[in-house]
Amino acid sequence: MTIAVEIYDLVKFYGKVKALDRLTFKVNEGEIFGLVGPNGAGKTTTLRIIATLLKPSSGIVRVFGYDVIEKPDEVRKLISYLPEEAGAYRFLTGKEYLEFMGKIYHIPRDFIEEGIEIASLGDAIDRQIRTYSKGMKRRLLVARALMVKPRLAILDEPTSGLDVAHALYVRNAIRKYAKEYSVTVILSSHNMLEVEYLCDRVALINEGRIVDIGTTEELIKRYGVRNLEEVFIKAIGGVA
Amino acid sequence: MIKELVIKELKNTLRDKRMLLSLIIVPLLMFIIMGGIMRFAMTTTFKEALEKRTIYVVNNDLNKYSEIAINYIKEKGFEVKVFENTDAKEVLSEVEEADVVIEFPEGFSYNLSNGLKARILTYASIKGLSIGGYAVLGKVSGLINEISAYLSKVLVKEVASNVNPEFILDPIASEPHMFISGKEVPETFIGMLGFFSAGIIVAPLVLVATTIGVSSSMIAVENEERTLEVLLTLPISRFKILLSKLIGVAILVLIATLSFIVGFTFYITAPMTAFEELPGSEGGPSFEPSPILTLFDIQTIVLTGIAVFFTLIAVGALGLLLGSIAPDVRTAQTYIGPLSFIVFIPGMMLMFLDLSKFTILAQIVLIAISPFISPILVFKSLFEGIPWIAYASLTWTIAFTLIMVAIAAKFMETEKILTLQFALRMRGLRKKAK
């Protein structure tokens, strides 16, 4: 089995603050891998390092064998990154935005049409993005991340800001693309239902360290609880 | 790939009404409206002054030469209302439409007959502070000069009927020749030289200020709209991202410059052409740019062009750097504020002083800061015959440009572009806590 993401002893400092503390895990190709943890646990920092935006203080991070420090340009050809609070160019229309991204990734026209379908914005796809609601913008960005059919999609809170129906729609799209096109997905989420539904394996992360890792079933069994939410509370602890 | 990025930059910038307004519409409309207003105001006030003006004359002399002068005014096409043996100030205050009154005082003709200087008094009442009011007084002064010249001719004719009074009064024909660095300035252009010097300084300053403003906004807007993170993870080299931004800046600045030139040309020509339409006027100066070109050699034009190119790239890269550390466009604009001192203070000094008036030390300081004012310095030094300043400035500007582009490219490569604002915010919070 090909390893999509390998992380060994990853440490990241912001000044004197240690954000990641000897983080180690692997993601297999074609897998949907979830990073779950409280705010400030280090999820976004981990995803940003994999996406070549931040450099590790120490440790090794490889994407399909390419080191993110030594070969960032090669890594960027394989990934598609969706930040948690991403925006899109306000004065482009939704369609122009997807077409622009399509040209950057050199994808065929039918991939862009698929992107338009995933975004499910109807006639609004021809309107400027500045007129979109938060949810519409998020759907467009998810569509952008998936339509390029990357080998690795890095999705930070993909359904953040979406209502129940649209969140379900996006979750289905992620699952469909991952399975149909063998896209490996690494995502972070606060929504345990979403993680349970989407992820093949889950890593629980707290204070920059991996607390536990496994399939949802394994974790539920290991902690002797009914669902992932209870696993989270038991492994990491609730709010004091 | 760069083409797509540049198109995206242009679309996203030019569709922004704020940018469209500051880059194109304001420079174009501002000058066109200002020029139009000045043209309208000057045409109407001077037309009124010359066409419809009634000249109010108080004749307290009632003798030969005052009568000759009044007839002369009538021959000029003015309507003349004459008051005799009256106080001119009373006429001014009592006749509502009389805003200027000319008085020939008692003894006017006696003085002229006896070889003594005679006086003509003018009284003006200005109702507002418009330029028109002063212009009317100016035109009346001009009329009095004409009366004086006419009476001189009459007196010369009376004293020596065989002599041509034109020759006695104006025996010398003036032919001005002006040289700048050995090149003769066309005669029609001499009067315009000061105006042109100001323009040659102001235009590059505006260009530099616009470039810094546009370029700093280009990255700052990516921060503000939270598009930077995605942009930096796309399969494009960071250098190409920088290059596309610089090309975008260059195109936008070019558009802004064209808009500025169109507006500015209208502005400077509109008030002048207003004179040409005036009746009874010999016409004011008209703007003829073509002779200007004969003053410059090809070397001056080429080197100034190179200086413009490198200066814009340098300040563009600097603007992008400043924009990257700003969380939004407004903050970026505050960062570039202090830079205007480096640009405008030496720029204004160069407007009023020749380079030869600067000490060697001051010249070196000017060269040191020349990446911001290189087009002005290169042009002026070549024009004034001090070429070493042009070469030194150009060399330093090219070096500075390469350094700025390298720094900007390096900065784009590092994670600082994302983490610097975080670090600055943390530092601010720590300071506050202390």
Query: Closest partner residue to A105 among B235, B422, B423, by Cβ?
Result: B235
* Identity of the highest mean pLDDT range in B14-23, B44-53, B194-203, B270-279: B14-23
State phi, psi for B18 to the nearest 5 degrees. -65, -45
Q: What DSSP character marks residue A128? A: B
Where residue B84 sits, what CATH number does that domain have? 3.40.1710.10
Say whether both B224 and B167 belong to one domain.
Answer: no
- B423 contact residues in A (CB cutoff 8 A): 15
List the 80-119 stretch of A: residues with Cβ below 8 A of B.
Answer: 80-83, 85-92, 96, 100-101, 103-105
Pairing assessment for the beta strands A201-206 and A32-36 based on DSSP bridges: parallel
Distance CA A141, CA A83 (A): 9
- A144 contact residues in B (CB cutoff 8 A): 230
Say whether both B170 and B184 belong to one domain.
Answer: no
Answer yes or no: is pLDDT of B274 > 80: no
Q: Considering the entire predicted model, what is its pTM?
A: 0.73
Helix (H, G, I), strand (E, B) or coil at A8: strand
Q: Does A28 touch chain B (CB under 8 A)?
A: no
Query: Closest partner residue to A53 among B5, B13, B233, by Cβ?
Result: B233
Query: Closest partner residue to A81 among B233, B236, B426, by Cβ?
Result: B233
Say whether both B104 and B20 belong to one domain.
Answer: no
Is there a contact between B415 and A53 if contact means CB atoms under 8 Å apart?
yes
Q: Report the mean per-residue pLDDT for chain A.
A: 92
> Average pLDDT in the B4-13 region?
87
Residue A31: pLDDT band by 50, 70, 90 thresholds? very high
Query: Closest partner residue to B234 among A14, A88, A104, by Cβ?
Result: A104
Q: Which of A45, A91, A97 to mutate to test the interface with B (most CBs of B within 10 A)?
A: A91
Say whether both B132 and B236 belong to one domain.
Answer: no
Q: How far is CA A180 from the centre of its chain?
A: 18
- A156 contact residues in B (CB cutoff 8 A): none
Helix (H, G, I), strand (E, B) or coil at A175: helix
Q: What DSSP character marks residue A127? A: S
Say whether both B134 and B250 belong to one domain.
Answer: no
Say whether both B238 and B325 belong to one domain.
Answer: yes
- A15 contact residues in B (CB cutoff 8 A): 423, 426
Final residue in a domain of this structure, among B174, B202, B230:
B174
Give the position of tokens 């003829």: B288
Say whether both B71 and B108 belong to one domain.
Answer: yes
**Total number of domains in chain B:** 2
Say whether both B333 and B212 belong to one domain.
Answer: yes
Query: Closest partner residue to A92 among B12, B229, B234, by Cβ?
Result: B12
Say whether both B205 and B340 belong to one domain.
Answer: yes
Answer yes or no: is pLDDT of B260 > 90: no
Beta-carbon contacts below 8 Å between A and B: 81
Distance CA B372, CA B321 (A): 15
Q: Which domain holds residue B342?
A: 2-40+180-433
Domain-embedded: residue B48: no
**Given CA atoms B45, B50, B55, B61 in this order, what sign does their dihedral have?**
positive
Residue A60: pLDDT band by 50, 70, 90 thresholds? very high
Is there a contact between B235 and A100 if contact means CB atoms under 8 Å apart?
no
Q: Does A134 touch chain B (CB under 8 A)?
A: no
Helix (H, G, I), strand (E, B) or coil at A51: coil
Q: Does A210 touch chain B (CB under 8 A)?
A: no
- A128 contact residues in B (CB cutoff 8 A): 15
Q: Which of A66, A69, A82, A104 to mutate to test the interface with B (most CBs of B within 10 A)?
A: A104
Contacts of A220 (CB under 8 A, 6+ apart): A226, A227, A228, A230, A231
> Average pLDDT in the B384-395 region?
90
What architecture does CATH give domain A3-84+150-236? 3-Layer(aba) Sandwich (3.40)
Q: Which of B229, B412, B413 to mutate to test the interface with A (most CBs of A within 10 A)?
A: B229
Is there a contact between B225 and A88 if contact means CB atoms under 8 Å apart?
yes
Is there a contact between A54 and B418 if contact means CB atoms under 8 Å apart?
yes
Say whether both B347 and B388 belong to one domain.
Answer: yes
Chain B contacts to A (CB-CB under 8 A): 1, 4-5, 7-8, 11-13, 15-16, 225-227, 229-230, 232-237, 414-415, 418-419, 422-423, 426
- B8 contact residues in A (CB cutoff 8 A): 89, 92, 100
The pLDDT score that the predictor gives to residue B284 is 46
Give the position of tokens 């002797």: A224
The pLDDT tens digits of the residues spanning B163-185 come to 888 887 778 888 878 777 677 77
> Average pLDDT in the A25-44 region?
93
Final residue in a domain of this structure, among B174, B207, B240:
B174
Find out whether A146 and A80 touch, Cβ atoms under 8 Å.
Answer: yes
Residue A42: pLDDT band by 50, 70, 90 thresholds? very high
The pLDDT tens digits of the residues spanning B66-76 come to 999 999 988 88
Distance CA A234, CA B46 (A): 91
Domain-embedded: residue B19: yes
> Average pLDDT in the B259-271 region?
68
Q: Which of A63, A76, A89, A134 to mutate to test the interface with B (most CBs of B within 10 A)?
A: A89
- B415 contact residues in A (CB cutoff 8 A): 53-55
Answer yes or no: is pLDDT of A56 > 70: yes
The pLDDT tens digits of the residues spanning B183-204 come to 777 776 666 666 666 777 777 7
- A85 contact residues in B (CB cutoff 8 A): 226
Candidates A97, A138, A82, A142; CA nearest to B8 is A97
Domain-embedded: residue B46: no
Final residue in a domain of this structure, among B151, B174, B197:
B174
Distance CA A178, CA A185 (A): 7
Say whether both B188 and B169 belong to one domain.
Answer: no
Distance CA B178, CA B226 (A): 59
Domain-embedded: residue B400: yes
Structure ipTM over 0.90, yes or no: yes
Residue B283: pLDDT band by 50, 70, 90 thresholds? very low
Domain-embedded: residue B47: no
Answer yes or no: is pLDDT of B291 > 60: no
Candidates A71, A37, A15; CA nearest to A23 is A37
Say whether both B226 and B371 belong to one domain.
Answer: yes
Find out whether B74 and B68 touch, Cβ atoms under 8 Å.
Answer: no
Q: Is A179 exposed, middle or buried (0-12, 13-18, 19+ CB in 10 A)?
A: exposed
The pLDDT score that the predictor gives to residue B269 is 65
